[in-house]
Structure formats: structure tokens, C-alpha cells
Structure 1
Amino acid sequence: MNPTPLKVGLVGWGAIGRVVGTALAAGDIPGARLHCVVDNRPLGDATPAEQVPFENAIDACDVIVEAAGQGVVRAWGERVLTAGTDLLVASTGALTDEDLAKRLLAAGPGRVYFTGGAIGGLDLLQAVRALGPLHDVRLTTTKLPGTLEQPWMDEELLHRLRTATVPVEVLAGTARDIPVRFPRSTNVAASVALAVGDLDAVRVRVVADPAAVRTRHVVEASGPHGAYRFEVAHTPDADNPATSTVVPYAVLRSLGAIAGRPGQIL
């Protein structure tokens, strides 16, 4: 455990950030405390810590937590790391840009971390990867139709989503393609690819289901060393159904590990 708590700068006061920031301010993560909040909206007294410009947060904090979307990672990730501040990324979909991923991993002296978010089993997939490549990796993500609507969709697809009475496949592709098309809904695809080490090896199906009370992710992977299957079903966040209620708690768990909280499974 760090003798001096890590000063955490939180970027984004939305569905994820509010939970993370409130828990940090309450002292729920030993070894880490909320120092400031960054958001492009004036928040007034809504936050338990001072709202500051991004540059100020980088200078003042030990760790920046991104909880505001892929654009933040693209615009600020390298600047955080080259300033010597650590970065915890929630919007892993930004890493489908391989050039950005390489630059972040090479930047420093700050260290970059990624939270697993709404999916489990990534630690095991990383371990198996050391034995050799996984030849067949599939992810099926099922969500409510309204959470999947995107500006690029044509009227025919939007009509299918809005009138669906049974599950509808919205798009299929690789982990390189899908998070770009659904920037707020499919970070899980990028997280699986990070664990496997190959964006093109992960085949992804996005399914809209009007009866999806829970958001479901099914990962199936196999190779010469074994076969693996992980399935999770999460309650969507009430304020932002595109994300799951568990995501901010995954961020808090990751912060606990960075801060040296004992008892963590690493």
C-alpha cells in the first residue's frame, strides 16, 4: 500500500465517473483519493472535488482516470503519459487505432493501464496467449436496440431496430472494426482483442434484442492449448443504458490494484 494516497484526476462526470468519483471521495479505495474532476460541462457543486482544466489535472495528479469516451484517449493519452502521470483507460475501443495503441504503450514515463470493464476472463486469455496464439476467438454482444442506434445507420436498419420483436444481428466484423462503429457500446470487443493480442483474430457479432433485460457478452476462444468460454449478463445503467452498472466498479477495482490494495486478484 502506498503510504501517501495516490491523487486521482477523474475525466468525465457521467454514468461511470459519478460512481467512481463518489467512491473515491468517500475513501472506499484505500491508497487512492479523488483530487479533481475534468469535464467539458460546468458542473458547479455537483462534484466532491474541484473541477479543473485537463492540463491542471495532469500536473497535479498521480493517476488520470478516463471515463469520458474514446476521444479523450486519442486527444490526451500521450500528453498524460509523457508528463509522467499514469493513465487508466476505460474506453478501450480507442485502442483499435493500432498506431495510437503503439504510441501509448511506448510513451512514458507515465504508465498506461486498461480496465476490463464489463467482461471477465481477460487475465486468463492473456496467460494462454503466452503459450501460443488463439486461432478462433468470437464475441457476441447483445443489447437493447435503442442503445445501438448510430448516425451511420441507414433508414432500413434503423427501422429494423425500432420495430424488432426478436433478436436482430446489427453488424458482424472484427474487433478492429466494431468499436469504431459503436464507440459507446462495444469497448468489450477491444478489451478482448487487447487480451488476445490481435484485433483481426476476434470476430464480433452485435445483436439487438428488444427483450434484453440485461446486456450480454459471450466470449468463446480456442487454440492448441485449450478452449475457453465466458458469459456475462449485466444490468444496464439506468442513466446510460449503453454501459453496464458494473463498469465503474471495474474501474475502482483497477484503481485499487494500482494503489497496491491487498487481496487483489492480479
Structure 2
Amino acid sequence: MSAPEAAEDVGRAGVRRVGLIGWGAIGRVVGRGLSEGEVPGAELACVVDNRPRGETLPVPQLPFAEALDECDLLVEAAGQAVVREWGERVLRSGADLLVVSTGALTDRALTERLRRAGPGRVHFTAGAVGGLDLLQAVTALGPLEHLELTTTKLPGTLRQSWMDAELTARLDDATGPVELMRGTALDVPAKFPKSTNVAATVAVAVGDPERVRVRVVADPGAVRTRHVIEATGPMGRYRFEMEHEPDRGNPATSSVVPYAVLRSLGVLAGGGGRVL
């Protein structure tokens, strides 16, 4: 059965059949929540993950092509590369795509291809960031005069292969906060693909990644992952600060993210609220 036919059957049954791409720190929590009925109107149909699993999955583990035949909604929980490689194909099949790794959407060429790909639709989850509705409302009244995000994490979660010896030494020897990069939401997510999805999410919400200034800070004393958004616009001045417990298995991810994904799935399955 093709994805459009599956979607039609799902529409009659009133249940979204969800394919989960990735069974890691995020996917595991989302998958278990779906399989235990935590999202009315949605059921987990399959998992797509190329890695061998060391645990029993609640649903079949399928190749990507077979998942498209089984699902009308795919959830990306495995990194930006999935969006680049498979995003268009998901949408062309007629299935919707919920993106967790929003850093991929700062690639303007990719975003334009996804917009043209349909008939499926792209959605993204707010993940570890709040205040997006207000930022969108203020932006609608005129361009923000200033918008800056500062993300602070433990040094070990920010290490990257492109770092030179000097920067690596600063990271290893840090006894206090160290600024690793300053730039826009267009270029920072490419340098820290697993740690700056919040920057990309803010950029997508306001519609201009070059307007969002981003600072990435490593702090060996950080107990939680911290995101601070500061903005000035025609209606006033705003500041949002979020501190999240990092995921125990993957400290680069905030533990709240999979629950934000479950909330987004609830909206897409017909529950109240809005998904971006």
C-alpha cells in the first residue's frame, strides 16, 4: 500500500501511523511513549535505524523504503543528515515529516526543496526552546532590532573535529566559561550540528537565520544546559532563559526534547495546541 493510500486509511480510522527514524536518546523516549498510548490518535508503526539494536523494540525495525509504505507521519530523531538525505522523499510519498534536528533547515537550498516537494508537509518541534510565539508575534510587526542566543554546555559535548589545537587546548584546560564561536544561526549550526538546534529553531521561527546572533559557550561548571534569548523589537525588550537537565545517555541533548516531540505529535494527531 502506498503512503497516500495509507494516509487515506489512517484518516478514516482517525489514527496517525508514525514511523520513528532513530532509536537513540530522543527516539527511545518518543517510541516508548507512543507504544504505551501516551499520544491519543497516534500509534508507533515502525522504527528506522541502521544500527543493530541491543534491546527488543516494541514495533518492527524496517528499512526506510518500507517505512514509507507503512506510515503517514515520519519523525526524524537521528540528526541533520536524515533531513538532507530523506526529507524530500518522505514528502513526495505523501507522508508528513516532523523534524527534530532543525539545524538542517538553516540550509536555504534544502529548505526550498522541501517546500516544493509535497504533498506531504514539514513540521518542526520547538524542542528545548520557549518564547517562540512571542518572537513570531513581535517579528510580524517589524524586524527585530536585536536578537541573540547564548547557548552554554559542558565542554565535552561541544568538542568538534574541525577545532584546531589551540581551541582544543582551551576547551580541555577550561576552568571557567569559554566562548567557542560567535556567528549567526546560518553558520553556527553547521559547526555544532548536535548542539545548536535551538539556534536553528529560533531562526526558523523568526524567518531569518542571519538576523539571529549566536554565542556558543563551554563551561566546565555547567550543571544544566542553558539557553538565553535576548531580543529588542518595536514593541519592547525581551529575555528568555531556559536551563535543562542534559540527557543522561547523551549530554548533548536536553532531557526535555523527547517530551516536546511527543507534544508536537499530539497536536499533529488532532489534539489541542499548535505545532510549528
**TM-score normalised by the chain length of structure 1:** 0.96
Assess, with a 3 A threshold, how the Cα gap between structure 1 residues 40 and 128 changes in structure 2: closer, same or farther.
same
* Offset from partner CA, 1:228-252 (integer Å, 9 cap, x none): 2111000000000001000000100
1:135 aligns with 2:145: yes
SS at match of 2:214: strand
Question: Quick check: 1:193–1:199 contact (8 Å CA) kept in 2?
Answer: yes
Q: Deviations over 1:49-78 (max 9, x none)?
A: 100001111121010000000000000001
**1:17 counterpart = 2:32:** no
AA at the equivalent of 1:243: T
1:223 alignment partner in structure 2: 233
SS of the equivalent of 1:255 reads helix
Aligned to 1:50, the other structure's residue is in SS state: coil
Q: What is the distance in 2 between the residues matched to 1:200 and 1:45?
A: 43
Residues 1:195 and 2:205 are matched in the alignment: yes
Q: Which runs of 5+ in 1 are unaligned?
A: none
Alignment-derived partner of residue 250 in structure 1: 260
Alignment match of 1:62 (pick from 68, 72, 77): 72
2:218 is matched with which residue: 208, 214, 224? 208
Alignment-derived partner of residue 91 in structure 2: 81
Change (3 A) 1:165 1:128: same
2:182 corresponding residue in structure 1 = 172
Which residue of the partner structure matches residue 122 of structure 1?
132
From 21, 46, 50, give the equivalent of 2:56. Answer: 46
Give 1:184's aligned residue.
194
TM-score by length of 2: 0.93
The CA deviation at 1:174 is: 0.4
* Kept in 1: contact 2:80–2:102 (CA 8 A): yes
Indicate the larger mover: 53-62 or 19-28.
Answer: 53-62
Q: Structure 2 unaligned segments of length 5 or more: list them.
A: 1-10
- Maintained 8 Å contact 1:7/1:32: yes
* Residue identity matched to 1:39: D
Contact 1:234/1:245 (CA < 8 Å) preserved in 2? Answer: yes
SS, match of residue 192 in structure 1: helix
User: In 2, distance between residues paired with 1:123 and 1:2?
Assistant: 32
Give the CA RMSD over aligned residues: 1.6
Q: CA deviation at 1:2?
A: 8.1
Aligned to 2:67, the other structure's residue is in SS state helix
Aligned CA distance change for structure 1 residues 60 and 3 (closer, same or farther; 3 Å): closer
Q: What's the CA shift string for 1:59-102, capped at 9, x where partnerless? A: 21010000000000000001000110000000000011101011
Tell me the SS of whatever aligns to 2:195: coil
